[in-house]
Chain A
Amino acid sequence: MEDSTSLKQEKENHELKEVEGPWEKKTAASPQDPDPQSSEPLEAEQVPETGPQPSKSPPWSPRSRTSMVLGDLTVPGALPPHSPPQQPSSTPPLTLGEQDLGTPLQSDRTTSIIPNAGTPLSDPLEQPSDKRESTFHRTRQLEENTFPQSQQSKSDLYGPKDPSYDTSKQKELRFDIFQEEDSNSNCDLLQLEPGASEVAPSVLEIAIQNAKAYLLRTSSKSGLNLYDHLSNVLTKILDERPENAVDIIENISQDVKMAHFSKKLDTLQNENELLPMYEIAEMQKTLFLQGNLEGADQELEDEIAESSLPNVMESAFYFEQAGVGLGTDETYRIFLALKQLTETHPIQRCRFWGKILGIERNYIVAEVEFREGEDEEEVEEEEVAEERDNEAIEADEEEEDELPKPFYKPPPTIPKEENRTGANKYVYFVCNEPGRPWVKLPSVMPAQIVIARKIKKFFTGRLDAPILSYPPFPGNESNYLRAQIARISAGTQVSPLGFFQFGEEEGEEEEEVEGGRESFEENPDFEGIQVMDLVESLSNWVHHVQHILPQRFRICLLGQHGCPQISSHSMLLQSSDPTSGLEHMPFPMAKSLRIST
């Protein structure tokens, strides 16, 4: 006992201060923490007195050892100001050496350890009771010395753990808890000699444990338990030593309850986790609300809406019959997002182009045609950029006069097509999810299409992501996305023969074949083709968007040597390749809504 007493005294001095710390931390975490020792900071003095107690039998120890938990380590906010020495030790998450608290094989008993500068202590009394399994771990390795030293009365529970009012009915389990080089100097080496009496738990002990278990039962309403509350109250009284304590005991109890800062660890995490979900929900809610806000302009809107907004739900219904679709509510949200797009931008016509899947996020693409004269902002910027480039080149050339000039001249860059023509006929907007702001994609350059044909890359979902590839792609993900959209649109937009016709009267068809017909409109005389005809052969389907030529980037009609003798009012674009529309998708991650036979 001598060594134990000396150690104990050491501990006392050490831990009187820290005792309050962990205690408070414990109260904060008490709903989580089945730790009865939180009550006893001041009872540390009594610790040595609780010496002669019968100790538990060794079979209990392994279990308790395996279930050592640190009560308050994960309560960051509850660190009391006066326990700085404990902080370093207590804040880092601790893991048990080899025991996994999560294993269902474990018994339910957990012993809690007061994180007294990392001095773990196990409460023997908790073992038999049904405690919740705590999931806190300790980083320090706990080693247990040999148990079976049959000294009974060697209850050296060090640290302020010892529940004071359990003195009368305590059982102790003694452990040797050995901590390895904790850099924190305040770490105490807790040595508990294992008391291993071979006495089986007697009836009295069982009753004690049951009583304690009952006291530790948490209330479903407030998350407190009686044990902790009583220990808090007693501690407070002993701290403050008020006059006539017995008369004001109820008030003190109430105060303690009010001061009890029940920090539920889960709440913090939950709030963080659920936030994105609420964010999205709110953003989408605004989508729903916007439509109802404008009352006066409704008539105007209706007229415009008819021509500009597509009937997404109707098309989705038809696509669903074919087995292609995004689900009803998602489609409706896309419809609302498109509506928002048409309201914020001067758009003449808008169409839901499709959805492209990416690794981190997806893209929802809308194909848009601006009203006349609205889309000229970008042109000026690019001209300025070109001028700068020219100046830079001239400067370089002057300096290099002395060096031999290379004969190689890079092929002239193919000029970009004008807006509203060719591949830039439509403007595309993308967003990551319906409800998020729409971003306009830049116009596509011929060089980009040429290189896009040679590479195959996944989309990440971020428009500014770089595309690392060989041959190097001139641009970032937004340019690549635009190039792919252009290729898809040019290659896969089909319609039944005769559905579209050219708008203008054409004098001589031959002259205009090379110029490329660019404007078409619906044929009002179109009567529809029988379904069987459409299904059986592909000659009834035509591309109504021009193909992209390999080098020129100028679009050319397919199959010009087909049948040109059709009258000017009907479609002149030739029939498509037999495998068009059903071809192997060139890019696995680009899934657009397409018509299939």
Chain B
Amino acid sequence: MDAESLLLSLELASGSGQGLSPDRRASLLTSLLLVKRDYRYDRVLFWGRILGIVADYYIAQGLSEDQLAPRKTLYSLNCTDWSLLPPATEETMAQTAMVKGRFMGDPSHEYEHTEIQKVNEGEKIFEEEVVVQVKEETRLVSIIDQIDQAVAIIPRGALFKTPFGPSNVNRTFEGLSLSEAKKLSSYFHFREAIDLKNKTLLEKADLDPSLDFMDSLEHDIPKGSWSIQMERGNALVVLRSLLWPGLTFYHAPRTKNYGYIYVGTGEKNLDLPFML
């Protein structure tokens, strides 16, 4: 959610039950402003909060002009001091795939797991047990990246793409209408399109190249991994992801307010197909 409309956004997203305490909110307001100035970001988003056993991580993201460019991620333990996280790479993803369980809350905590690796020595190939240590920071990075890739969403029309390439915030976005707000197809993944090229020509013909340049939620696998609800009568539409429980997206139809926040343990819900 945008750091500028933080209080309103938190209020709207509070239906999920997890929010922020007043002191955190106050410190966020000031510290995010400073972050924006220091790092010279165009927009700062408060991404959410990952619950750890000992402490929680508060995550923020900074965006540059091009909304779809890779975002910079910062974390903090007390909402006042922010540290930049390294970008996620393939290696880190592979390493952290083996780590399971809750986050500890201590960034220097190391997870150990033993892997059986095949080591070549000359002509012999034998298996060795290697103990791999993964720092919690790395795990944090990869989890945030996975969540972003999978479930960060944005309503249709909020961004538009210019012919030169970069996508910008659409200042004429007045919000989705009520009927559109209830459909999954009006929400897009906030990342570069993956599926778009696989569409048939017929489907592509209906798309508007300046607005429909991201994947919509309609074809997410598994089907039913999003729960759409209208709260307060029809004044607020809330999407919750069932794949990454804790991600809440809210949008007030016909207004410009929208945003998403993740408050959860940072664990993917692998049992989703059985739970539906």
- A residues whose Cβ falls under 8 Å from a Cβ of B: 98, 100, 102-104, 269, 273-274, 276-281, 320-327, 330, 354-355, 357-362, 456-458, 582, 584-585, 588-589, 591, 593
Residue of A nearest to B245 (CB): A588
Q: How large is the interface on B (under 10, 10 to 19, 20 to 34, 35 or more residues)?
A: 35 or more
B53: which A residues are within 8 A, CB to CB?
Answer: 582
Pick the most buried of B20, B179, B234: most chain A CB atoms within 10 A of its CB: B234
Task: Say yes or no: A98-B205 contact (C-beta < 8 A), given A273-B178, A278-B233.
Answer: yes
> Once the chains bind, are A330 and B205 in contact (CB under 8 Å)?
no
B:79-101 near A, CB below 8 Å: none
By Cβ-Cβ distance, the 9 closest A-B pairs, closest first, are A277-B233, A327-B14, A280-B233, A588-B245, A277-B234, A273-B178, A359-B227, A323-B21, A458-B275
Q: List 24 A-B contacts (CB under 8 A).
A: A100-B205, A102-B208, A103-B208, A269-B179, A273-B178, A274-B178, A277-B233, A277-B234, A281-B233, A321-B23, A323-B18, A325-B19, A327-B11, A327-B15, A355-B17, A357-B17, A359-B224, A362-B15, A456-B275, A457-B274, A458-B275, A458-B276, A582-B53, A589-B242
Task: Say yes or no: A325-B14 contact (C-beta < 8 A), given A273-B179, A357-B240, A584-B102.
Answer: yes
Cα separation A456 to B271 with both chains bound (whole Å): 8
> Once the chains bind, are B234 and A584 in contact (CB under 8 Å)?
no
> Once the chains bind, are A323 and B19 in contact (CB under 8 Å)?
yes
A-B contact count (CB 8 A): 91
Residue of A nearest to B276 (CB): A458
Cα separation A555 to B164 with both chains bound (whole Å): 68
Q: Does B167 contact A (CB under 8 A)?
A: no
Residue of B nearest to A435 (CB): B233
Q: Does B104 contact A (CB under 8 A)?
A: no
Residue of A nearest to B233 (CB): A277
Cα separation A210 to B20 with both chains bound (whole Å): 59
> Once the chains bind, are A280 and B232 in contact (CB under 8 Å)?
yes
Residue of A nearest to B18 (CB): A324
> Once the chains bind, are A326 and B15 in contact (CB under 8 Å)?
yes
Q: Taking the nearest CB of chain A, how far is it from the CB of B221, in angstroms? A: 17
Cα separation A520 to B11 with both chains bound (whole Å): 38
Cα separation A330 to B15 with both chains bound (whole Å): 8
Task: Say yes or no: A279-B233 contact (C-beta < 8 A), given A357-B240, A457-B275.
Answer: yes
Q: Taking the nearest CB of chain A, how far is it from the CB of B161, in angstroms? A: 12
What 0/1 readout, one digit per residue, does chain B (30-45) give for beta carbons within 8 Å of chain A? 0000000000000000
> Once the chains bind, are B276 and A325 in contact (CB under 8 Å)?
no
Cα separation A394 to B235 with both chains bound (whole Å): 57
Q: Does B229 contact A (CB under 8 A)?
A: yes
Q: Does B269 contact A (CB under 8 A)?
A: yes
Q: Does B24 contact A (CB under 8 A)?
A: yes
> Once the chains bind, are A326 and B208 in contact (CB under 8 Å)?
no
